[in-house]
Amino acid sequence: MIKIDDLTVRYGVATALDGVTLTVGTSEMVALIGPNGAGKSTLVNTLFGILRPASGTVTTSGRLALVPEGRHLFAPLSVDDNLRLGAWRNSDRDTGLVYELLPELTPLRKRPAGRLSGGQQQMVALGRALMAGPDVLVIDEMSLGLAPLVVEHLAANLRERHAGGLAVLLIEQNARLALDLCTRAYVLEAGRIVAEGPSAELAGSPEVATAYLGLEEG
C-alpha cells in the first residue's frame, strides 16, 4: 500500500532523509520509531506530497489518510464540523460511523475542538482521518502528551480498525507501544533506517532495547 524506495529529502543543504526504503503491505500494521529530529515527519510529509524528494520514489495504492503531528484541528469549529472536514467527498459527510467507532466523542459533538483535552483532540484527529474511509492510516505521534489510559484506549481502537483490514503506519516516540501494536518496525536515526524487522526481533536486540525501551545493556 506504501512503497518508499531509496528516498532522499533535503531542506536546503541539510539532508533530512538519506536513502530510506520502507514498505507497508495490505492490512499490515508497521511502526516507525526514532528520536527527535530523525526525519519521521519529513517522511510523512513526503508521503503526502507536502515535500518533494531530492531523489527516490514514493508509490501508494488505495486511499491514504493522515493523523498529523500536533493534530491540526480547527479550534473554533465544533467536533462534528472538524470530522466533516475529513470526508472524502461532500456526499460522505455523515459522521455517524465515527461516533460509533469512537463513542466518547458523541457527547462532545457540538463543542469547539479547541476546548477539548489533548486526548479528546487526538480522538477527533483520528476520527477525522477515519472519515476519509482510508485503506491506509498514517499516524504521526499518536501518544505524545497523552495519559497512559487514553493511549491504551486509542491503541485498542486502532487494533480493532486493523482487525477490520485497515493498514497502518504508526510513528511513535513510545517505542514499547509501537513494537507492541505493530508486527513489523523500522528504526530511523539521523535520516537513515538503522534497523528493521519483526517487532519481537527488534525488541530483543540489545541496541534497540537500550536506546528505545529503557533497558540496561547486558
Ligand X SMILES: Nc1ncnc2c1ncn2[C@@H]1O[C@H](COP(=O)(O)OP(=O)(O)OP(=O)(O)O)[C@@H](O)[C@H]1O
CB 26 within 8 A of CB 99: no
**Closest separation in Å from C-beta 216 to ligand X:** 24
Is residue 39 part of the contact set for ligand X (CB under 6 A)?
A: yes
By C-beta, is 66 or 105 nearer to ligand X? 66
CB 208 within 8 A of CB 196: no
Footprint of ligand X on 46-75 (CB under 6 A): 69
By C-beta, is 142 or 154 nearer to Mg ion? 142
**Closest separation in Å from C-beta 24 to ligand X:** 17
**Closest separation in Å from C-beta 38 to Mg ion:** 8
Is residue 38 part of the contact set for ligand X (CB under 6 A)?
A: yes
Tell me which stretch binds ligand X (CB under 6 A): 31-39, 98-106, 119-127, 210-218.
31-39
With 0-12 / 13-18 / 19 or more C-beta atoms within 10 angstroms meaning exposed / middle / buried, residue 214 is exposed
Is residue 41 part of the contact set for Mg ion (CB under 5 A)?
A: yes
Which residue of 28, 41, 123, 166 would you call a contact of ligand X, by CB under 6 A? 41
Is residue 36 part of the contact set for ligand X (CB under 6 A)?
A: yes
Is residue 42 part of the contact set for Mg ion (CB under 5 A)?
A: no
Q: Give the one entry of ligand X, Mg ion, none that residue 14 binds, where binding means its C-beta sits below a cut-off of 5 to 8 angstroms depending on kind.
A: ligand X
Footprint of Mg ion on 126-165 (CB under 5 A): none
Is residue 16 part of the contact set for ligand X (CB under 6 A)?
A: yes
List contacts with ligand X (CB under 6 A): 11, 14, 16, 34, 36-42, 69
